[in-house]
Amino acid sequence: MADRSFAPSRVLLFALVATIVLLMSLTSVSSETNNTDFSSALFLGSGVEHEGTIDTDDQYFKVEPAYGDAIEFQFKDPDGQDLKFCVYEGNKSSDEIDCVYPARSPGVYYQKATKDSYFVRIICGECTVTTSGQARFSIEAIHHLDEAGDTLDEQVLLMPEVMIHGSLFGTDADFFNIPVMCGDGNIRFVITDENTGGMTSYRLYDHYGIKISEHYESAPYDFVSGTSDCPPDSNYPVNFSVELLCAFEGHCDYSLIAIGSTWEPLEPSSSGGEGNASGISLSETEITIVVVIVVFIGLLMSLKIFGGNRANLESASDVIPNEGLGESILTTGIASPPATDESPISQSREIQTSVQMQDSVHQGDVVGGDKISTKVVNEPEVFA
């Protein structure tokens, strides 16, 4: 019989060896980088910071923003290894846009998204074979939604007396359309810069799209502008357009309000004002009522037609042709008693028979021209 006294020790030894092999495999996977070219670039989700190490092999990352978004890249070189972060608008070396050295300057870069995909290439110039060959880094890409149009053709309506808040990143610009009436006179504009050092700037355009004023790096702004090209006593809608941008292509938080316009929408809101939680306009209610009435009338007409057809069928069932009389027609109407009544029932019926002689009898004869009407009174009948 085989000796099994060392079986537990063998199991422990096998488990130890398997653990060491697993740890070695995990270590090799974590140190190995597979994103070493454009085709194998590692995807970066918005707002997710990726930390890693880099050696002599460059590393590639890919972001996929929505069109018009502002991408805020944050690059870090904690070991000061003079890492180089280059941004590309395509998957070729010739698509390079700009490069950032976080060890030399703030590692923040803004890019307006006009492509479906952007790439980042990290290069470690100090990582040589003779040194440790490792350098730490971190990368993050934050997508900021486009809050307003980027051109005069894409500007967003700003209602009078309503303040709007927004943010600008890099080359991003926000355009707002402010409707006024020609007789409103001067319109007051107030633009503030919130916690970003007053770098918010603006350009003001008339309703022809011609720039009439601009100011840079000196927010807040409080100024008035009058409507132009308005005949005396005229009152028709015109527009101002405001472009907001951030100086030095940095980050700006702003607010904007236009005061003094009497413009109102041509069509009032269908919500019916405050307190109307139904969400149904008056016209829709009227349409619903008309549809219900039409359906009801249709049902009544259907019932009437059905009842008329039924009455015609019942009356037709009372006409029984009797072919035994030759050319004479006998019409008889007899009402049948209820089947459940077993007592004798006496009924009297008048049977009128109209016989008109035809064919061999001609008009003018003694018999031929007469119409004989016979009135027959039935004797009481007993129905079983």
Per-residue pLDDT of the chain (384 residues; tens, 9 = 90+): 445 444 556 655 655 655 554 444 433 333 346 889 999 999 999 999 999 999 889 999 999 999 999 999 999 999 888 999 999 999 999 999 999 999 888 899 999 999 999 999 999 988 875 556 789 999 999 999 988 989 999 999 999 999 999 999 999 999 999 999 888 888 999 999 987 777 999 999 998 899 999 999 888 999 999 876 676 666 778 889 999 999 888 899 999 999 999 888 876 544 444 444 344 445 666 787 888 788 888 888 877 776 666 666 566 555 445 444 444 433 444 444 444 444 444 444 443 433 343 444 444 444 444 444 444 444 444 443
Task: Given CATH 3.30.1050.10, say whether it is the number of domain 30-144.
Answer: no
Please, are residues 256 and 153 in contact by the beta-carbon 8 Å criterion? no
CA distance 363 to 361: 7
φ and ψ at residue 285, rounded to 5 degrees = -65, -45
pLDDT at 17: 53
Global pTM value: 0.59
Which element (helix H / strand E) includes 300? helix 282-317
pLDDT for position 167: 93
Class level of CATH domain 152-259: mainly beta
> Burial level of 159, CB count in 10 A (0-12/13-18/19+)?
middle
Domain ranges of the chain: 30-144, 152-259, 324-336+344-384
Are the beta carbons of 329 and 353 closer than 8 angstroms?
A: no
Provide the edge-to-edge strand list for the sheet that holds 200-205: 156-157, 173-181, 237-246, 200-205, 211-215
**pLDDT on residue 231:** 65
Distance (Å, whole) CA 272 – CA 281: 7
